[in-house]
Amino acid sequence: MSQQFKAKVNTSFNFDINSEDISKLDTVKVSDTNYHLLHKNQSFSAEVITSNFNKKQYHISINNNLYKVDISDELDMLIDAMGFSISSKKAITSIIAPMPGLILEIGVKVGQHIKENDSLLILEAMKMENNITSPIDGIIKAIHAKQGDAVEKNQLIIEFEN
């Protein structure tokens, strides 16, 4: 049985693909990121520029033309048909202290744009320095602690804008 996929190219063009179509492609892997394709007697040079396997997002160059490709498999399509969505944005609105400790450093300011995994603060707990990083991309809405403050477990430290 053939597996079904949807490919969205440059957020504008949608294609339905199945695993049989994919297996019929005449491709040769030239290197880790480069491929040579033959399709309808035409030759194509393809390179995977970036890939995010978990989000199923790829930037691909085909004959020096750049394309952003988002892939959906059967599970993604079923979830979408049921009215649910797999959102890449996490519903996290704040940072709370994971343990009691002392704020050694706060590396962000209110209104600052931050990226996922950016360092927010350093919390000393049990004689260890813990780098607390951002779980999301976002904007700092409020900071409820300052350097030198002692915090309790589950105490609100930083809020993000929604």
- CATH value at residue 124: 2.40.50.100
**Average pLDDT score over the chain:** 89
Listed in sequence order, the residues at least 6 apart from 58 whose beta carbon sits closer than 8 Å to its beta carbon are 48, 49, 50, 51, 52, 68, 69, 70, 71
Which pLDDT score is estimated for 39? 85
* Domain assignment present for 29: yes
Say yes or no: 102 and 63 in one domain. Answer: no
Q: How many domains does the chain have?
A: 2
The stretch 1-24 carries a mean pLDDT of 87
Say yes or no: 34 and 71 in one domain. Answer: yes
152: containing domain: 94-160
Say yes or no: 130 and 68 in one domain. Answer: no
Residue 51 sits at the vertex; the CA angle it makes with 49 and 55, to the nearest 5 degrees, is: 150
* Domain assignment present for 51: yes
Strands 101-106 and 119-125, bridge-based pairing = antiparallel
Give the pLDDT band of residue 87 (cuts 50, 70, 90).
Answer: low
Rounded CA-CA distance 73/110 in Å is 40
The stretch 83-88 carries a mean pLDDT of 58
Give the pLDDT band of residue 3 (cuts 50, 70, 90).
Answer: confident
Residue 117, H or E segment: none
Rounded CA-CA distance 49/109 in Å is 34
User: Percent of the chain, pLDDT > 70?
Assistant: 94
Say yes or no: 11 and 61 in one domain. Answer: yes
Give the pLDDT band of residue 86 (cuts 50, 70, 90).
Answer: low
Q: Which of 53, 81, 109 is the last residue of a domain?
A: 81
Say yes or no: 98 and 74 in one domain. Answer: no
